[in-house]
Amino acid sequence: MRNILTTFFLFFFLYQTDAQVCLNPVTSNCADAIMGTSEFLMTTSGNVDFVFDDMRDFITGITHSGSTMLRLRIDEVVPNSCRWRLMMYIDNNSVLPANEWETLVNYGTSGQNPELDLIEVKIYNGCGTPLNSGVFQIFAGNTQYDLLEIIPMGPRIVPAPCDGSQVNGPGSYLTDYNEYSFTIDYRIKPGYILKPGAYQIKIHFCLVEV
C-alpha cells in the first residue's frame, strides 16, 4: 500500500507542470493538455543551428523559415469560460551576464559576446492571430526569461471569421487550422562585432489557460 501511495504522489507532483515563467493557472475552465483532451503539439527540427562560415552570411544573416510549428486543440470544461494565453520566452541557461548567450566555446579573443536580443523571431498563421503577426521581433528586454506574447491575455475571443483577431477560446487545429496553428521563423544577422565561437540559447513556448 505504501508503494502504491508513493507512486501515486510522485505521479501527482510530476503532473503539476511548472516553470519560472510558465506559471500555474488559477482557473480550471479548459481541459488540460497532458492528461486531458486538449493538445499542445510542437514540431521542430531538433536544434535550430545557425552556422556562420561565409562573409555573405555575416552580412545578410541566416533565416530558418518554419523551423517550429505549434498546433493547438483546446477543449473547454466549463462552458463559455475557457480562454488561454500563448507566449514564448528566452533562456540562456542562467549564465551571467543575464543578457548574453551561453558560450559553449570561443574561437578567438576579439569581439563582444552575443546578446539575447540578437535573435529575431517571426510568428504567424493563416489568419494572422498572433500579436505582431508576420513581423520579425526581438526579445527587447534583452534578459533571461524575457517574454514575447503570441496570444496575450485578453477577453475571450472564440474562433471568428479569419480576421486577425487574437482567438483564445476553445477550438482545434483539426477543424480550424489557420487559427490554431502557429509557424515560427528564426533569423540572426550577426554583423562583425561578435566574438567567434559557439553559443546556445533555449526558447520556451508556454500555453496556459487564464
Partner 1 sequence: MKKCFLSFALVAMFSGLSFGQLIDEKNVTVTMDLQPVLQLHMTTPDQVDFVFDDIREYYSGIIKYAATILKVSSSVTWDLYAVGTSQAGTIWDQQMTYSGGGGANAISALPLSCLELHQYEANRYDANAAGGTATDYSGLFQDAQTAAPVVGQNSIFYSATPYTAPGVDQKYIQGHSGTVAGDDGAPGGSYLIASPGVGQDFTDYYFTIDYRIVPGLPAIFPFAGDNLGNAEDLETVNAAGAYANPGVYTMNVKYILLEDQ
The residues in 161-200 that bind partner 1, with binding defined as CB under 8 A, are 186, 188, 190-200
The kind and range of the H/E element at 5 are: helix 2-15
Q: Is 11 exposed, middle or buried (0-12, 13-18, 19+ CB in 10 A)?
A: exposed
Contacting partner 1 within 89-108 (CB under 8 A): 91, 101, 104, 107-108
Contacting partner 1 within 40-59 (CB under 8 A): 40, 42, 44, 46-55, 58-59
Q: Compare residues 15 and 177 and give the one whose CB is closer to partner 1.
A: 15
Contacting partner 1 within 108-147 (CB under 8 A): 108-111, 114, 118-119
Q: Compare residues 39 and 176 and give the one whose CB is closer to partner 1.
A: 39
CA–CA separation, 14 vs 1, rounded Å? 20
CA–CA separation, 25 vs 136, rounded Å? 29
Stretch that binds partner 1, among 17-25, 122-130, 132-140, 145-153 (CB under 8 A): 17-25
Stretch that binds partner 1, among 39-47, 129-137, 149-157, 158-166 (CB under 8 A): 39-47
CB 210 within 8 A of CB 84: yes
Among 100, 149, 179, 209, binds partner 1 (CB under 8 A): 209
CA–CA separation, 47 vs 131, rounded Å? 25
CB 37 within 8 A of CB 31: yes
